[in-house]
């Protein structure tokens, strides 16, 4: 597997000679694009911009090339990631690192040693097999191995506790500093300029867009700027009024003394269940960690002088070292030459940030690589450069788009707590619907206590605490038990689906993003943005698509016309920031956009008996003729026996369901109307017209021969469901 190389292995290279870039002594007055950050990410962005013909690029670096986090990277090059979109970004890394020396004259030190990953559990082996399937989709060679076959590659490995393993023969290692320098040299050869020893102090705007970068050595006028500044990106973004969810943490690797065990043809060994990786380095072994409980570090506590190390912390590293010695017993008898503990940046969902800031047009980002900058920077730089030049993404970048994270996620206290967990999430089991254990309770539903009483197992989505599923009658919150075949919610969710198909189900969709669009330009603006005709009578609901100027789909919201010049736009939970950006950039200045996500709850009643239930509980006429799909009830319609008023609209076909949007403060009264209100023979609840009105449980009884209370037992008739639309 090993290819001959002329460059020796080089890690933790503080002496990288970047004089071949012929850096300027002072920043220029103007550049088309200013890239801030001279690590592997910034160098890749500059390289790919110039390759696309954008030569007027200036790269600014506060210290020297690679002085942030690139210099202490372990140099691992993996081509396959957990999703197709991420693999599309990662798979270009090894081919580019391999081709750069011939183009730039700067060796990258790429060695195709391969990568071997072992599994201690059945679940982990299933996850590794998913990686094999991904590799097959992209034509990347990969194979499954038995535990005994592991010793063909790592003779010293303990394998008796293993379930299996995989091998990717063409994965590699690279010299991080040399790789960044080679990318930078390619950019320089096509016209990019580099300036070292300059600090960014602010940004200038013109007509709402970034138009200049202010430094301690003057201002550079520009058309746009790119933040590729690693762990300091959030601090710089704040100078432009922009938000990025990213926070530093300590990342650790240790290097052994020389040992004959360290053969240069050893593949990278990953023991994810042990939270560790091992690679060869100059006749030594390097052991790195992604421990379950990381150590976040406030940005203000990190020296800005570059090439930062925090010193040894063997106590913190001890559990991972113990796991490494279990896997490689030879480590028990080898000393250690270097303990490297340096800063790296991590994001709450472990995906990096790419794209243009919605709130700061002209300011772009390529940062937050979660210790995977060497893996992702070639593809990220290419994707960002194409996005800038073409004016739109050229591939699916939803998972890494900066607009995926709300501004609420930029709270430093929350990020500090969250980062302790997210560092270890890189090597933890990636179960479907895996829930975080930290940073919880940021955003809450008004009915949370009622859901807990009803037996809800709570999960998190976009900061919201919301039910994942229900186990009626549970005396304590159900536990999330993960499995690829039958997780703990498999049965309950199936029953909820049966209720929605055969009876009545209530979904709490309060977490959905909600925006009011109003003003003289609202109609024409939405008509231009939406694929469907939204110039409909007041009270009508339109399910539509927001499209870009190429006809591509950006979003699929519902648009409800509340008044002549007032519309309510409701979009998925995870796209609050993205939806706001689409509306603000796509609508004319005469239209105003107001985020009312936290002002209104959303309750959705679904199922073939939903209309029957609601008709008995409101004075409004819900017949097919009066309330067709898609239509909206007047805000004056009131659920009987409650003080709750709100807008309701029919989003189901035929007799399929209704969505109701009361204000947050009225939601609990609406819940009381639907669930807590009980009819008795002596004191039946009545509507304003005098009709007797049943509770939701009574309606369910009419749909099933089994008599039950909806909130007390499982039933295929009527359920409160998790409302997990995203």
149-188 pLDDT tens trace: 999 999 999 999 999 999 999 999 999 999 999 999 999 9
What pLDDT, on a 0 to 100 scale, did the predictor assign at position 134? 98
Class of domain 26-111+172-246+342-430: alpha beta
d(CA 80, CA 140): 8
| DSSP codes of every residue in 181-222 | HHHHHHHHHTT-EEEES--EEEEEEETTEEEEEEEBTEEEE-
Task: Name which of 371, 230, 353 is nearest 291 in CA terms.
Answer: 371
34-63 pLDDT tens trace: 999 999 999 999 999 999 999 999 999 999
438-477 pLDDT tens trace: 999 999 999 999 999 999 999 999 999 999 999 988 999 9
What pLDDT, on a 0 to 100 scale, did the predictor assign at position 472? 87
| Contact yes or no for 71/13 (Cβ under 8 A) | yes
Q: Phi, psi (5° rounding) for residue 166?
A: -130, 155
576-597 pLDDT tens trace: 999 999 999 899 999 999 999 9
Whether residue 105 has pLDDT greater than 80: yes
Task: Name which of 59, 55, 32, 24 is nearest 43 in CA terms.
Answer: 59
Q: With the C-alpha atoms ordered 672, 443, 606, 721, is the resulting torsion angle positive or negative?
A: negative
| Contact yes or no for 148/98 (Cβ under 8 A) | no
pLDDT average, residue stretch 637-656: 45
Whether omega for the bond prior to residue 401 falls within 30 degrees of 0, making it cis, is no
Every domain of the chain and the residues it spans: 26-111+172-246+342-430, 443-459+468-508+606-622+649-726, 513-595
What pLDDT, on a 0 to 100 scale, did the predictor assign at position 681? 29
Half-sphere exposure for 113 (CA within 13 Å, toward CB) = 27
What pLDDT, on a 0 to 100 scale, did the predictor assign at position 589? 93
Range in 272-276, 476-480, 604-608 the model is least confident about: 604-608
Q: Which CATH number fits domain 513-595: 3.30.70.1400, 3.30.70.420, 3.30.43.10, 3.30.70.890?
A: 3.30.70.1400
112-154 pLDDT tens trace: 999 999 999 999 999 999 999 999 999 999 999 999 999 999 9
Whether residue 223 has pLDDT greater than 50: yes
What pLDDT, on a 0 to 100 scale, did the predictor assign at position 718? 44
Whether residue 304 has pLDDT greater than 50: yes
Whether residue 688 has pLDDT greater than 90: no
d(CA 477, CA 491): 16
In the predicted model, what is the mean pLDDT of the chain?
A: 88
322-360 pLDDT tens trace: 999 999 999 999 999 999 999 999 999 999 999 999 999
Two structure tokens written together for 105: 């004259």
What pLDDT, on a 0 to 100 scale, did the predictor assign at position 690? 36
Confidence of residue 617 (pLDDT cuts 50, 70, 90): confident
Confidence of residue 646 (pLDDT cuts 50, 70, 90): very low
Tell me the CA end-to-end span of the chain in Å, nearest whole number. Answer: 44
Whether residue 703 has pLDDT greater than 60: no
């Amino acid at each position: 597997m090993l290819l001959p190389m002329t460059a020796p292995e080089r890690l933790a290279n503080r002496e990288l000679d970047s004089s071949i870039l012929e850096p300027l002594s002072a920043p220029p007055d103007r550049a088309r694009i200013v890239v801030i950050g001279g690590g592997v990410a910034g160098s890749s962005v500059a390289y790919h911009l110039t390759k696309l013909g954008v030569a007027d690029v200036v790269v600014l670096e506060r210290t020297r090339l690679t002085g942030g986090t690139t210099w202490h990277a372990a140099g691992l090059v993996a081509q396959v990631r957990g999703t197709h979109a991420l693999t599309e970004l990662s798979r270009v890394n090894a081919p580019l690192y391999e081709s750069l020396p011939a183009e730039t004259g700067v060796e990258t030190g790429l060695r195709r040693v391969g990568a071997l990953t072992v599994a201690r559990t059945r679940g982990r082996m299933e996850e590794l097999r998913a990686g094999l399937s991904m590799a097959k989709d992209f034509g990347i060679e990969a194979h499954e191995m038995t535990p005994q076959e592991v010793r063909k590659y790592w003779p010293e490995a303990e394998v008796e506790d293993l379930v299996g393993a995989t091998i990717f023969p063409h994965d590699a290692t690279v010299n991080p500093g040399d790789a960044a320098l080679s990318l930078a040299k390619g950019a320089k050869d096509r016209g990019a300029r580099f300036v070292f020893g300059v600090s960014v102090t602010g940004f200038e705007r013109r007509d709402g867009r970034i138009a200049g970068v202010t430094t301690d050595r003057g201002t550079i006028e520009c058309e746009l700027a790119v933040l590729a500044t690693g762990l300091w990106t959030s601090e710089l973004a704040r100078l432009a009024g922009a938000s990025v969810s990213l926070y530093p943490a300590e990342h650790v690797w240790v290097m052994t003394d020389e040992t004959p065990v360290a053969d240069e043809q050893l593949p990278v060994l990953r023991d994810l269940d042990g939270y560790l990786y091992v690679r060869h380095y100059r006749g030594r072994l390097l052991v790195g960690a992604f421990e379950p409980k990381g150590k976040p570090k406030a940005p203000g506590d990190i020296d800005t002088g570059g090439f930062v190390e925090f010193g040894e912390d063997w106590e913190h590293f001890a559990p991972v070292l113990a796991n490494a010695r279990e896997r490689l017993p030879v480590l028990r008898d080898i000393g250690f030459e270097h303990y490297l503990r340096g800063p790296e940046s991590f994001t709450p969902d472990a995906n990096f940030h790419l794209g243009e800031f919605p709130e700061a047009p002209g300011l772009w980002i390529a940062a937050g690589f979660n210790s995977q900058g060497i893996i992702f920077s070639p593809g990220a730089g290419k994707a960002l450069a194409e996005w800038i030049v073409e004016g739109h993404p050229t591939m699916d970048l939803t998972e890494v788009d900066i607009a995926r994270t709300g501004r609420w996620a930029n709270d430093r206290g929350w990020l500090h707590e969250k980062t302790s967990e997210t560092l270890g999430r890189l090597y933890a089991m990636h179960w479907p619907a895996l829930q975080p254990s930290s940073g919880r309770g940021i955003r809450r539903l008004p009915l949370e206590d009622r859901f807990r009483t009803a037996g809800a197992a709570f999960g998190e989505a976009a900061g919201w605490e919301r039910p994942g599923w229900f186990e009626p009658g549970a005396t304590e919150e159900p536990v999330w038990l993960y499995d690829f075949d039958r997780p703990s919610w498999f049965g309950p969710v199936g029953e909820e689906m049966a209720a929605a198909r055969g009876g009545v189900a209530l979904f709490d969709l309060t977490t959905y993003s909600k925006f009011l669009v109003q003003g003289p330009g609202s109609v024409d603006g939405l008509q231009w943005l939406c694929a469907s005709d939204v110039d409909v009578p007041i009270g009508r609901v339109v399910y539509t698509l927001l499209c870009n100027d190429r006809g591509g789909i950006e979003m699929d919201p519902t648009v409800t016309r509340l008044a002549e010049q007032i519309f309510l736009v409701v979009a998925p939970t995870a796209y609050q920031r993205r939806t706001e950006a689409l509306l603000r950039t796509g609508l004319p200045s005469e239209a105003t956009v107001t985020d009312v996500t936290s002002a209104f709850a959303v309750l959705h009643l679904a199922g073939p008996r939903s209309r029957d239930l609601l008709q008995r509980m409101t004075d409004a006429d819900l017949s097919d003729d009066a309330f067709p799909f898609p239509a909206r009830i007047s805000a004056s319609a009131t659920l009987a026996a409650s003080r709750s008023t709100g807008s309701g609209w029919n989003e189901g076909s035929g007799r399929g369901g209704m969505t109701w949007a009361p204000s947050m403060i009225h939601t609990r009264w609406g819940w009381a109307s639907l669930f807590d209100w009980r009819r008795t023979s002596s004191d039946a609840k009545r509507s304003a017209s005098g009709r007797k009105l049943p509770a939701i449980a009574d309606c369910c009884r009419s749909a099933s021969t089994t008599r039950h209370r909806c909130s007390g037992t499982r039933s295929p008739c009527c359920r409160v469901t998790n409302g997990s639309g995203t």
